[in-house]
Structure 1
Amino acid sequence: MTVDAAQEDTYDRRSLHERIAADLRDEIMTGDLAPGAALPSTVRLKERFGASNATIQKALQLLKDERLVIGRAGAAVTVREHRRRTVRPASSLATGGPGEPYPWLAEVTEHGARARGELLAVGETAPPADVATALRLPVGGTALLRHQPLTLDGEPVELVHSYYPLDIARGTALMEHRKIQGGTPTLLSALGHPPRTGVDHVSARVPTREQYEALRLPGSLPVLRTLRVVYGAGERPIEATVMAKAGHLYEPRYAFTPE
Structure 2
Amino acid sequence: MSVSSRPRALYLRIADQIRAQISDGSLREGDRLPTEAEIAASWDTTRTTAVKGLGVLINEGLIVSQRPRGHFVRARRPMVYRPQAEFRRRPLTSEMDAFVAQLSDEGRVATQKIEVSIIKPTTEVRDRLRLAEGELTAVRRRVRYIDGVPYNTNDSYFPLDLVQGSEIMDPADITRGANTVLAELGYPQVRAIDEIHVRMPTPEEVERLHLGPGTAVASHVTTGYTASGRPVRTVINCLPGDRHVITYERAKPPISGQLVIRPASEADLDTVTSLWTGAASWLGKRGIDQWQYAPRLERIVQNIEAGECFLVEDQGVPVATITVDDHPDPDFWTSEEAEEPAVYVHRMVVRRDSSGHELGGAMLDWASQMAADQGARWVRLDAWRENQQLQEFYASRGFEHLRTVTVEGRGSGALFQRRAGDVRGAGPQLITLSPDQGTD
Counterpart of 1:147 (choices 130, 141, 153) is: 141
CA change 1:128–1:19 in 2 (3 A) is farther
Residue of structure 1 aligned with 2:104, choices 84, 95, 109 = 109
Contact 1:198–1:230 at 8 Å: present in 2 too?
yes
Once residues 121 and 99 of structure 2 are traced to their aligned partners in structure 1, the CA distance between those partners, rounded to angstroms, is 25
Q: How does 1:161-180 map to 2 (within 5 A)?
A: 161-180=155-174
Deviations 1:32-88 (A, max 9, x none): 759x7797x97xxx9xxx897974993798444289xxxx88xxx7774x6133310
| Aligned mates of 1:245, 1:25 — CA distance in 2 | 27
Matched-pair contact (CA < 8 Å) for 2:221–2:235:
yes
Distance in 1 (alpha carbons) for counterparts of 2:135 and 2:86: 26
The one-letter code sitting in structure 1 at the alignment partner of 2:64 is: D
Q: CA deviation at 1:193?
A: 3.0
- Compared CA separation, residues 83 and 139, structure 1 to 2 (3 A): same
Taking the TM superposition and a 5 Å limit, the aligned residue runs for 1:136-215 are 136-215=130-209
Larger Rg: 2
Q: 1:220 to 1:239 in 2, by over 3 A?
A: same
Q: Report if aligned partners of 1:33, 1:79 keep a CA contact under 8 Å in 2.
A: no
Q: Residue 220 of structure 1 corresponds to which residue in structure 2?
A: 214
| 8 A Cα contact 1:227 1:242, kept in partner | yes
Query: Is contact 2:138-2:160 (8 Å) kept?
Result: yes
Q: Which runs of 5+ in 1 are unaligned?
A: none
- Aligned pair partner of 1:58 in 54, 61, 72: 54
> Does residue 246 in structure 1 map to residue 245 in structure 2?
no
1:227 Cα deviation from its structure 2 partner: 1.3
- Shift in Å at residue 200 of structure 1? 1.7
Structure-2 change in CA distance of 1:132 and 1:101 (3 Å): closer
Quick one: percent identity of the two aligned structures?
A: 22
Give 1:143 shift.
Answer: 1.1
The one-letter code matched in structure 1 to 2:130 is R
* Residue range with higher mean Cα deviation, 185-194 or 232-241: 185-194
SS of equivalent residue, structure 1 residue 119: strand
CA contact (8 A) 1:160 1:244 kept: yes
> In structure 2, do the counterparts of structure 1 residues 223 and 84 end up closer, same or farther at CA, with 3 Å as the change threshold?
same
Q: Which has the higher contact order (CA 8 A, sep 6+)?
A: 1
Q: Is the 8 A contact 1:201 1:227 kept in 2?
A: yes
Task: Quote the Cα distance in structure 2 between the aligned partners of 1:26 and 1:220.
Answer: 16
2:228 is matched with which residue: 234, 237, 244? 234
Q: Which of 82, 90, 106 is residue 84 of structure 2 equivalent to?
A: 90
Q: Indicate how the Cα distance of structure 1 residues 79 and 180 shifts in structure 2: closer, same or farther if over 3 A, else same.
A: same
Q: How far did 1:145 drift?
A: 0.9
Q: Is the 2:19–2:57 Cα contact (8 Å) retained in structure 1?
A: no
Instruction: State the partner residue of 2:113.
Output: 118
Cα 1:208–1:38 shift into 2, 3 Å: closer
| Runs of 5+ consecutive residues of structure 2 not aligned to the other structure | 253-352, 354-440
Q: Is the 8 A contact 1:20 1:59 kept in 2?
A: no
Q: Tell me, what secondary structure is at the counterpart of 1:234?
A: coil
Query: How much has 1:187 moved relative to structure 2?
Result: 2.4
Is residue 2:122 matched to residue 1:128? yes
Question: Is contact 1:96-1:183 (8 Å) kept?
Answer: no
Alpha-carbon distance in 2 for matches of 1:52, 1:110: 49
Q: Report how many residues are paired.
A: 233
**How far did 1:16 drift?**
2.4
**Alpha-carbon distance in structure 2 between the residues aligned to 1:148 and 1:215:** 11
> In the TM superposition, what whole-angstrom CA distance separates every residue of 1:88-129 from its partner, at most 9, and x where no partner exists?
002233454444444344333333322222013x12212221
